Amino acid sequence: MEALLILGGLLLILAGLVWLVMRAFGTGLLWGWASLLPPFTLLYVLRHWGSARQAVGLSALGFIPLIVGLTLLASQDSQRLHALLSMQWLKPEAQTPADLSIELHGELNGQPFVPQQGELLGSVLSLREGQDFFARRELVIRLPQPVTGALRLDVLPGDQGPLPEIEVSWLLPEQDLPEARRLSHGYTLHLNLQPVPPNKLAGDFHLVLPAQYKTILSGRLELFRDGLRYRDGRVDRHIDSTDTLAYVIEDYLQRRFASRSVQLAEMPPVMLPADRLELTVEAQINGQPQRLPILLNKTASRGWAVEADRFAALPERAAVVAAPQADIAPVATASSERISRPLDRRLRFGLDGLLRSPSRYENLAMRVLTTRGSTAEGRFQGVDQEGRIVLRQRLSGSGAASYALRPEEISTIELLEP
């Protein structure tokens, strides 16, 4: 209703201004051209009030529904009014971030679908178009089980059993809340997503819903698999997400206790966005449970950081094995860490788990088979800045050989120690 009042008021004001210009041209050609400029329009009204008063009255009449509509809008949705008055609707729509490539073709609910955001968190895959609280158009796929590695899925209309649930929603300009449709069978879905370091999935996507949903999408996706974002190979601490906070806290605890054996428990619930958070976190540090108060601050220069954090950075992992006499030290470190780990980690070991938590497998013996058929064996030294897996193998005497392998070059990887 408020939209109609605002639009009607604007149309009356515009009609009055057009009528005023026409009256000015009727008075004289020079007055007509001059009335197109606001100062001379006012001058014309003052000099020829008898001719201009009806047009001015029509424009003044338009302010009544305009003011009533703005008042109603301010009482019901102040944020929408602020966006309207600040001319945010004139700004171009934000495009897909450069670090996320989504190339989809087709339509959702009969309209072109150009998502700017894509995530696969646990068992929920979501694609969103629009940056507002309610997406302009959104596709959500709820998978039967959480995804920990690559995802390959094919569903046909006649398939039965526990299938992914598909939800499509859209928000029309005249609506305050989006409409949504859900279905659990009778559709075609093809997903073939492979891990892309450090925290993405990329691959082929194809979806066809029944005809009444007017939804057909096909192309290539790239999705984030957690709340972390990277800039120049480093975690961007300015992002408001639980995963960013967990990363900042874990890094702080590692430096505070001078140990990489830090396992953070589930984060307590937080309200984001925010500039300051006071939390109590639980963590396993060197195998011992700890409960610690943490005060987080967010600044424009550093992003999220723990207040009063003055602890030095830990030495690089490569520096531990650089000295010739350091051959015994990694074994001692590994043996001390085994106390707090499961008895046999080989049962659930895989490339995806290694990339997610490289510190849990530091200095353990592994064997890698590459896609070219070659084999490399050695102790895991971590993941370098380029996302490559580094293995170190001791040779005869005091020599050593290092291997740096990209995840896409690895065919199979095997953990040789429990």
Q: What is the pLDDT of residue 269?
A: 85
Residue whose token pair is 């990489």: 260
Closest CA to 367 of 325, 402, 413, 407: 413
Taking only the tens place, the pLDDT of each residue in 94-152 is 444 557 889 999 999 999 999 989 999 889 999 999 877 788 999 999 999 888 889 99
Q: What is the pLDDT of residue 330?
A: 43
Q: What is the pLDDT of residue 93?
A: 52
Q: What is the pLDDT of residue 89?
A: 56
Closest CA to 375 of 367, 384, 383, 363: 367
- Burial classification of residue 19, based on how many CB atoms lie within 10 Å of its CB (0-12 exposed, 13-18 middle, 19 or more buried): middle
Q: What is the pLDDT of residue 329?
A: 41
Pairing of strands 230-231, 234-235: antiparallel
pLDDT mean across residues, the chain: 83
The CATH number of the structural domain formed by 317-415 is 2.30.30.100
Beta-bridge partner residues of 393: 401
Question: Residue 295: what residue type?
Answer: L
- Going from N- to C-terminal start, the domains of the chain cover 2-90, 103-224, 230-306, 317-415
Taking the C-alpha atoms of 247, 250, 254 and 255 in order, what is their torsion angle to the nearest 10 degrees? 60
| Beta-carbon contacts of residue 187 (< 8 Å; ≥ 6 apart) | 155, 157, 166, 207, 208, 209, 210
Angle between helices 2-27 and 38-47 (to 10 degrees): 70
| Beta-carbon contacts of residue 37 (< 8 Å; ≥ 6 apart) | none
Q: What is the pLDDT of residue 413?
A: 87
Q: What is the pLDDT of residue 2?
A: 76
pTM over 0.75: no
Residues of the chain where predicted confidence (pLDDT) is lower than 50: 94-96, 319-342, 397-398
Q: Give the three-class secondary structure for 169.
A: strand
C-alpha of 170 from chain center? 19
CATH 3.10.450 matches 230-306: yes
Distance CA 16, CA 58 (A): 5
Distance CA 332, CA 327 (A): 10
Cβ atoms of 170 and 132 within 8 Å: the answer is no
Q: What is the pLDDT of residue 303?
A: 93
Q: What is the pLDDT of residue 342?
A: 43
Q: What is the pLDDT of residue 321?
A: 44
